[in-house]
Amino acid sequence: MTISIIRQPLATVDAPWVAAGIFDKDGGPASDLRGSAVEALVVRLLEEKEIKGSAGETIALHEPVGFRTRALLLAGLGAKARFDARAAYTAGVALAKRLASKPREKVGVSLAAVLEAGDPALVSSLVEGVCVGMQGPGLHKTEPNRHPFEVVLIAPEGTTDEALADLERLAARGGIVGQAVNLARMLANTPPSEKPPVVLAEVIRKAAEEHGVDVQVWNEARIREERFGGLLGVAAGSAEPPAFVTLEYLNGGDAPVVALVGKGVTFDSGGLSLKPSASMEDMKSDMTGAAVVVASILAAARLRLPINVKGYVALTENMTGGRAMKLGDVLTMRNGKTVEVLNTDAEGRLILADALSYAAEAGPARMLDLATLTGACLVALGPKIAGLFSNDDGFARDLADSSRKVGERLWQMPLDDDFKEALKSSVADLKNVGGRWGGAITAARFLQEFTADVPWAHLDIAGPSWVDAEGAARDAGGTGCFVRTLTAYLEAAAAVDGVARD
């Protein structure tokens, strides 16, 4: 996808399709539609409730009077007073998804409404959404159902040269972040037979090297040498060997290091604690945490952020082969702690335990893991909100601030010490599951045992990582959630030249 920006009146733009934002009935059409024949039509449609102007709504007007374009797509933005990054992103996805349904060489997208809202940074959110809307999940469709097009952003005629340069920078950022989201989505949507751990590791290696990120891939022998008992235990039931990938983007000089850790179960059958068939249908996406870590580090590299970031990605299948770990087995993890396995479908925490232990040994200033970890978090917070757990209030606040900035949703959950009681084992240091209650919390409390008191946060993204049903502003399948949050967090951390702060 190519993105360019022009500065001229909307009515004079010569493009087959032009998209322009409209707010709800209280905000109405943006400035570039006012005074035109279209303004009166939009106002009437809003008043008569034929359209609502809600975020994600689109309506096409063909041969609009007074415009050079052959078709004008009105993209709903919601309430003007509450217009934010989530609304801008949603509108971008919806308009791009609508227009990419057929081959189109070029589409103009007006920025007037976004700029009227008062925050030019929302231009990036709009472009991110446009990028995501142009890529669907149909990786193996014989006929493509999404057709990328050239995007021409239209700034109002009176935009100054300095402001135009800022818009160009924001548009370029949006393109990079949107492509990173699409990378995470593509990896999650790839069929499991096409991304066994070793193959996925090589995909990551090639992508990292292409963008100047140092990368190492460990094979099974190296993993055994490094004492990753959790990763080896989970992998034992699969014919496919595990892999462990480390990534380093060190562009921050003497600034502290941020460590990102991702769960990468490329298919999760549940192991001997076998999942029902219906519960396996989306388990190709159980490596979304790993995909988000990789995509976020590549985005930081492409943005040339002055920051030091290290990534750690544990990759395996969780299968039911003859050598699969059994209930009652005891695993010795990287940091020496022993874990009694009482549910083989609680495997993500086992591989993260090794990865977190290894990452903590390097002494990062902060350490964040992302994982599609528990169905319990989905029960607690629903399908659109991630659970945030942390041993550091300042870190948690910074992540929450970044998520709000980009319009993604998380909610901090408790991490009290009494939840550790549920993890006591009679034969080992820990067991890998607690009781019936607070499953997302006990899982996080388990992970905390492997953080070596490094400032740490855990995002349980089981809910927002996957969408079952298609909508006007979303695709079924992997969402690439929290790439946008992590990128914003790394940008903020780079701006203050360090992240170890209260």
Q: How far apart are CA 178 and CA 129, in angstroms?
A: 7
Task: Measure the CA angle with vertex 103, ends 86 and 31; round to 5°.
Answer: 45
Closest CA to 426 of 283, 330, 315: 330
Q: How far apart are the first and last CA of the chain?
A: 40
**For this structure, is 484 an active site residue?**
no
Q: Which of 208, 23, 230, 210 is nearest to 115 (CA)?
A: 23
Active-site residue identified among 7, 205, 227, 275: 275
Residue of 325, 314, 317, 347 lying closest to 239 (CA atoms): 317
- What H or E segment, with its residue span, contains residue 17? strand 17-22
CA–CA distance, 108 with 19 (Å, rounded to integer)? 6
Q: Which of 32, 53, 55 is nearest to 122 (CA)?
A: 55
The kind and range of the H/E element at 216 are strand 214-218
* CA-to-CA dists, residue 165 to 146, 174, 301, 372, 444, angstroms: 31, 14, 22, 39, 44
Given the residues 349, 405, 445, 484, select the one marked as catalytic: 349
Clarify whether 349 is annotated catalytic: yes
d(CA 91, CA 21): 8
- Number of Cβ within 10 Å of residue 141's Cβ equals 10
Instruction: Give the integer Cα–Cα distance in Å for 468 and 466.
Output: 7
| Chain centroid offset of residue 215 CA | 21
Q: What are phi and psi of 46, to 5 degrees?
A: -70, -45
Contact 368, 263 (CB under 8 A): no
Q: Which two tokens stand for residue 130?
A: 């446009």
Residues forming the active site: 275, 349
